[in-house]
Amino acid sequence: MQAAIIDHVCKIWDQPDDGIWEVRGERQHFVHSKMMAWLALDLAIKHHDRFDGKGDVKRWRKNREMLHEEICKRGFNKKLNAFTQTYDGDTLDASLLRITFIGFLPVDDPRILGTVRAIEKNLMHNGLVQRYDVKKSPDGLEGGEGVFLACSFWLVIAKSLIGEKEEARAMFERLIALRNDVGLLSEEYDPLAKRMLGNFPQALSHIAMAHAAFAVEGMWDENSLHVELSRQ
C-alpha cells in the first residue's frame, strides 16, 4: 500500500493544487504542498532502507532529488530571502515554517533563517502569526482573519530549532495562556478583542501545541515526529 501511494506521489507532485489552506482560487504550485510531497518520498525511502520494504526506490530517489532541486529553484525568492507561498512568487505563507523541522535543509541554512525572519517581520501581529497576508494573497473570501494558532506554534518550534530557545519558550507560554478553562484552543484568535475565532476545538492547534512543547523542552526528535507531521 505504501509503495502504491508513493508511486502516485511520483505521478502527481508536479501538478498544481489547492494548498494546505484549500484557498478558493485557481490551483497553484504551492510550495508547502511540494515540501510535503518531498517529505512523503523521503520518509518512504528511509522506511525502505530500514526495513527492506518493497517499491521502486530508484524512482523514488530520483523524484525526491528532482523535487528538492525544483523547490529550491522556484520556491525561494532571493529578494525576500525566503521561501514563498507559490512557485516564482513574492508572497509569504506561515506554513513554510514547517520547512524548519522536516529535514528538507539544515536548520542553520541561510534560506531557513531567512524564511523564519521574513515571516516574523511580515506575518506577525500582536506577537502571533497569520497564515498569510489576505491582501497580497487573495483566497476568494472577503475581509480579514485572526492570527492562526497552529502557525504560531510552528514559529515556536522553528525558533527552538534555530537556537532562539528563550524567545521560543516565552512565545509558547503566551500561547498556552490563551486556552479556555478546560485547556482547549480554537483555530484562530483575535488579539484585540481577546477571544477565540474559527473552528473550536481545533485539532491542528493542539497537535502543533504538543509538538511545540517537545521543542521547547529540548525533547524534539525529528525521526519520531516525522510520521505524524506527514499526516497533517
**Domain extent listing, the chain:** 2-231
- H helix runs in the chain, sequence order: 2-12, 31-51, 57-74, 110-123, 149-161, 165-176, 203-216, 222-231
Q: How far does the chain reach from its first CA to its final CA, in angstroms?
A: 19
Tens digit of each residue's pLDDT (9 = 90 or more) over 50-79: 877 778 899 999 999 999 999 999 999 999
Tens digit of each residue's pLDDT (9 = 90 or more) over 132-158: 887 776 665 555 677 889 999 999 999
Which pLDDT belongs to residue 114?
95
Running DSSP on this structure, what letter comes out for residue 27?
-
- Tally of CB atoms within 10 A around 111: 18
2-231: what fold?
Glycosyltransferase (1.50.10)
Which pLDDT belongs to residue 135?
73
pLDDT band with cut points at 50, 70 and 90 for residue 194: confident
Cell of 165: 530557545
What is the chain's length? 232
Tens digit of each residue's pLDDT (9 = 90 or more) over 105-130: 999 999 999 999 999 999 998 888 98
The amino acid present at 130, given as its one-letter code, is Q
Which of these, 2, 7, 105, 102, lies nearest to 60 by C-alpha position? 7
Which of these, 209, 213, 184, 182, lies nearest to 196 by C-alpha position? 184
